[in-house]
Amino acid sequence: MFSKKLIFISFLILFTIPIIAYSFFPSSNFNIWLSTRPILAQIYAFPLATATTASLLSFLYFSLSFYKKNKQICFYSGILLLLSFILLLFGTDKTLSSASNKTKTLKLVTWNVANQIEEQHIERIFSHFDADIAIFPELATNIRENREDREDQENQQIQLLFQQVGLSISNYDIFTSPPTDSGIAPVTVIIKKSYGFYTKAETFHTTRFGTIVLHSRKQNLPDIIALHTAPPLPGLMEVWKQDLHIIHNQLASKYPKAIIAGDFNDYSTDKSIKILMSNGFVHVSDDAKGANGAEGTYKYQGKWGSIDHVFLSRSLLPNFRECFIADSEFLLCKDEDYGGIQPRRNLKGVKWQNGFSDHLPLVVRFYF
């Protein structure tokens, strides 16, 4: 009897904390942290359904306990019913008001394809994943944006790849970051023209391997910041520090309603990630996992980790639905050196594997 009571009280406390945080302190760091925890993330995504279900169940439990004259259970279920009403009254009003403006799902994919774009990449991203926005942190296309009279041979190759998978490049806008002297391919973003409310914003500050800032002309759509930073390696430490300065002072602070995504060459516990979170951005890819065993977007010496990340302004958190690592079987191969699985790259040494990349894609879905 005592154990059942303890379990019920513990459940009540655990139910109370997120309801109070979500209803009365939605912008607090604690509520942001709760919203990215397993199970709670799904509940946060559907607060109206959660509140309605909890209200019905607690009312049923309250009625039964009242009928059986069980004062103790009646008391606890009454508190649960009260909390459910609080969530309905104070926690879902902002969700309901914004839900009417959410006309469709926006799907964003970020994938470092190591400057190797082939038919299979186009098919997987724009057909299999059905991406509305695709970010390639390392891809040279030389596509002249919306200037057919200046298209070059490489542009024609991209068009051919789209045609081979039954897609028309004319349905997409392509943006490429300004060239750098790093020797690394620029950042490229491809957006469906159905979301064609984006223009390339002029930025005088770019991370070492490239940065694109796309400004939305539609009020309910976020700005897109796609980037590729230098890694914190010997010989590049000063460049890396400069990239952190750019992210902190020129990007995150200037664009408060944005999605920031790309290859950060940094793990979740590292400095660049913490800087963005201190600027009011939520690390929505922090706990992203794959369905087939991938525990990160990158595997090095047998250990999984994510150096590709997606961040979201706190104000956009109600629009967030889910983030996961795309680790379909065709993207994986056996890790013969360390065991388990790893991303199927094109080359392993001199061995051709007919693969994709040493990175796995991150897929994020939003409601707008």
232 shares a domain with 271: yes
Contact 244, 216 (CB under 8 A): no
272 shares a domain with 140: yes
263 shares a domain with 123: yes
CA angle 246, 251, 252 (to 5 degrees): 110
350 shares a domain with 310: yes
Separation CA 88–CA 90 (nearest Å): 6
300 shares a domain with 182: yes
Looking at 64, 81, 99, the residue that finishes a domain is 99
User: How far, in Å, are 277, 311, 313 from residue 317 at the CA level?
Assistant: 13, 10, 7
42-45: Cβ within 8 A, 24+ apart:
43/18, 44/18, 45/320, 45/321, 45/322
Q: What is the pLDDT of residues 211-220, one digit of tens each?
A: 999 998 877 7
| Beta bridge partner(s), residue 320 | 366
Task: Please tell me the predicted confidence (pLDDT) of residue 44.
Answer: 64
Looking at 99, 129, 152, the residue that finishes a domain is 99
90 shares a domain with 66: yes
Specify the higher pLDDT residue, 169 or 364.
Answer: 364
Q: What is the pLDDT of residues 284-343, one digit of tens each?
A: 999 899 999 999 999 999 999 999 999 999 888 888 989 999 998 889 999 989 999 999
329 shares a domain with 228: yes
119 shares a domain with 86: no
Looking at 42, 65, 99, the residue that finishes a domain is 99
Q: What is the pLDDT of residues 225-245, one digit of tens each?
A: 999 999 888 999 899 889 988
64 shares a domain with 134: no
17 shares a domain with 32: yes
Please state the domain count of the chain: 2
Residue 151 has pLDDT above 50, yes or no: no
214 shares a domain with 135: yes
CATH number at residue 113: 3.60.10.10
Q: Please, what is the average pLDDT of the chain?
A: 80
The residue range of the domain holding 63 is 2-99
Task: Please tell me the predicted confidence (pLDDT) of residue 204.
Answer: 73
Strands (E), the chain: 105-110, 133-136, 172-176, 188-192, 198-200, 211-216, 223-228, 258-263, 281-283, 298-300, 303-305, 308-313, 320-325, 332-334, 341-343, 347-348, 351-352, 362-367
140 shares a domain with 89: no
Task: Please tell me the predicted confidence (pLDDT) of residue 32.
Answer: 60
